[in-house]
Structure 1
Amino acid sequence: MNTCYVLAGGKSKRFGEDKLLYEIKGKKVIERVYETAKSVFKEVYIVAKDREKFSFLNAPVVLDEFEESASIIGLYTALKHAKEENVFVLSGDLPLMKKETVLYVLENFKEPVSVAKTEKLHTLVGVYSKKLLEKIEERIKKGDYRIWALLKDVGYNEVEIPEELRYTLLNMNTKEDLKRILAIENHY
């Protein structure tokens, strides 16, 4: 598996500003995630609604296939664009993501889907099969944007992340999350 898609089409409503462009220690959140992905994968694409917004990355941007703003839209877009049968999908709002976490999920991949798990399921850190495209499209057309419901329907593998890597899955949805991320960042 040589390809990763970083999903970057969200609105950052709860954060109050564009969280992907927020800087932590001189790097934008999306930049940190992209660099982590590049350390593992030969090809890394950004899936977004706006190509210009991420031009500073000099990364290929794949535009979302649908207008709606939902993670499942980014997942659908990634799988539709993919040339490989299986691709890694990574949320763009994980500033603490590490190569080791990505590799751990990859090493434990089982068809058709494997996603990271801590005390909760991390549906946007995992490997997805292109075989799911039709089922995802059906859900989108029905207005059902729940990735966890898709996973229940198709079956999936939970990759239990080791304790020492769990902090890498903390996503940045709110300013409270940011405070926790900064405290962890300063600890390491």
Structure 2
Amino acid sequence: MSQSKENIAVYILCGGKSTRMQEEKGLVDFQGKPFIQWILEAIFPLSSNITLVTKNKAYQKFGFPLISDLQDDKGPVGGIYTALAHSDTQTNLILSCDIPKITTNVLSELITQAKNCKNSICFLTDGLHDYPLIGCYSKSLLPVFAEAVLESRLKLCPLVNEQNPMKLFVYQKNQSALTNINSKAELHSLT
């Protein structure tokens, strides 16, 4: 087993309200499989330590542990707080459940860079948009996220940018892996 596979915990945030999609995003079908299945298949070569952050029991069928948010309705900041509080590892890969085109290669590069940098957060960017929900977070950030939840500072990008993150640029040939799908219209335009 590779060093990465042993030393990284993966948390997929599945607890969103899915308001624009109007159904549970992680369970939405794309090319014959739910979003979450595509993501799990991309992760599995890199880590088997996978936890789904959700209270929706429909995710049990994927065979990974489910944990509920420690604080309800705190969005991704609350999801990351829950993941870091649960984790026993220093490096934690945090992913949203709406990125069905994510690839093992892109995630492998992210993990490698995160383990080799001194920053407590390393996430992907295409140069135009940041993707903090495709990122690695140090367990040491638990107090930062706990305080943010307590104070209801729930905007993720400003919070992570305060932590001097490393932003890993994804070149154009791999940028489709970053596509997050939030609505039926976006799903229908996905190829």
Fold match (TM-score > 0.5): yes
Residues 115, 126 of structure 1: 8 Å contact kept: yes
CA RMSD of aligned residues (A): 1.2
Q: What is the identity, as a one-letter code, of the residue corresponding to 1:91?
A: S
Structure 2, unaligned stretches of length 5 or more? 1-6
In 2, are the aligned partners of 1:33 and 1:95 still within 8 Å (CA)?
A: yes
Gaps of 5+ in 1: 184-188
1:44-123 paired onto structure 2 within 5 Å: 44-50=50-56, 52-109=57-114, 110=117, 111-118=119-126, 119-123=128-132
Q: Please say if residues 6 and 34 of structure 1, whose CA atoms lie closer than 8 Å, have aligned partners that are also in contact.
A: no
Map of 1:118-137 to 2, 5 A cutoff? 118=126, 119-137=128-146
Matched, 1:160 2:169: yes
Residue of structure 2 equivalent to 1:179: 188
Q: Could you tell me how far apart the structure 2 residues matched to 1:74 and 1:131 are?
A: 16
Query: TM-score, normalised on structure 1?
Result: 0.91
The normalised TM-score by structure 2 is: 0.90
Does residue 34 of the first structure (1) align with residue 43 of the second (2)? no
Aligned partner of 2:150 in structure 1 is: 141
The residue identity in structure 2 corresponding to 1:58 is G
Task: Compute the displacement of 1:55 (Å).
Answer: 1.1
Q: Deviation above 6 Å: which 4+ runs of structure 1?
A: none
- For the residue of structure 2 that corresponds to 1:133, the secondary structure is helix
